[in-house]
Amino acid sequence: MSTPSENQHKFGTRAIHAGQKPDPSTGAIRAVVSKPDGGFNRALAGTYPPGSTFKVVTAAAAITQGFANPNGGFACPSQVRLYDQTFNNWQATDSGFISLQQALIQSCDTVFYNFGQTFWQRFRAGQGEQLQAFARDFGLGSTTGIEIPGEQSGRVPDDAWLQNQHKANPKAFPYNIWLPGYTIQMAIGQGDLLVTPLQMTRFYALLANGGKLVTPHVLMDVESSNGTVTLRGTVSSFADHDEAIAAAWAAPGVTDVKDHVLVAY
């Protein structure tokens, strides 16, 4: 039986919106928005359980590990009973046997609970923490490398992490072993798994570009009205960006500067 930590599912009372519009082939960020305002960029510094957006990671891992046939059928009941615990689907009706594609479209929790059970069984059999490994391969649990300061790495929890948490705070984390419920919940993007919106955007860009994990960046170029390009490509700091803007304005005959940084907080 698993016990969720005290930090699970606490989103606060205000609606939180954070998103980006990337170029999936290059990682160029065309726009970023973070609401509510207040100087905190939730797109790269806010960490949240990814929920059903993570099911694509679980599906890819299950297919690669050989126990989910992409052309097979999967039971999608309203609930499953695993390890003396009931895990409910988000909808109360039984959808019968559905394809993996439909499981993703319908966001069937019970299909992915069963995938999580298999991942946990493999972990207990000494085959490693396969779901966590796939999540990390897709860039979760580490920063993306975007040049905006303040980016958080999120968290891909595993057995070693749980043991450290138990030692530090045994009341909040009463178990010092990785129980099946932890992997079962992770399979649907819940539990102690945390990601930034930018990390998930980067992951979906990987799906769109054929498998390349790009490094997102915000600046493409700075161009003056006379056609002079003073900076092209990415920047390592905002100081580089400011210097390029100043150089563009200093060019002869300049009446305007096009700053191809589309970032809104």
Look up residue 160 and give its two tokens: 């070693």
Give yes or no for a cis peptide into 36 (omega within 30° of 0): yes
Model pLDDT, residue 265: 24
CA distance 119 to 41: 34
Model pLDDT, residue 262: 35
Model pLDDT, residue 214: 87
Q: Are 58 and 115 in contact (CB under 8 A)?
A: yes
Q: pLDDT tens digit string along 118-144?
A: 999 999 999 999 999 999 999 999 999
CA distance 96 to 98: 6
Which residues, in sequence order, are bridge partners of residue 20? 32
Fold of the domain built from segment(s) 46-209: Beta-lactamase (3.40.710)
Closest residue by Cα to residue 8 from 140, 174, 154, 194: 194
pTM over 0.85: no
Q: Given the DSSP bridges, would you call strands 229-232 and 17-22 parallel, antiparallel or unpaired?
A: unpaired
Residue spans in the chain of domains classed CATH 3.40.710.10: 46-209
Contacts of 210 (CB under 8 A, 6+ apart): none
Q: Are 132 and 24 in contact (CB under 8 A)?
A: no
Q: What is the pLDDT along the chain (265 residues), one digit of tens a residue?
A: 333 333 333 323 334 445 555 566 555 665 555 565 555 688 889 999 999 999 999 999 999 999 999 999 999 999 999 999 999 999 999 999 999 999 999 999 999 999 999 999 999 999 999 999 999 999 999 999 887 788 999 999 999 999 999 999 999 999 999 999 999 999 999 999 999 999 999 999 999 888 989 888 775 555 555 665 555 554 544 455 566 666 666 666 655 655 544 332 2
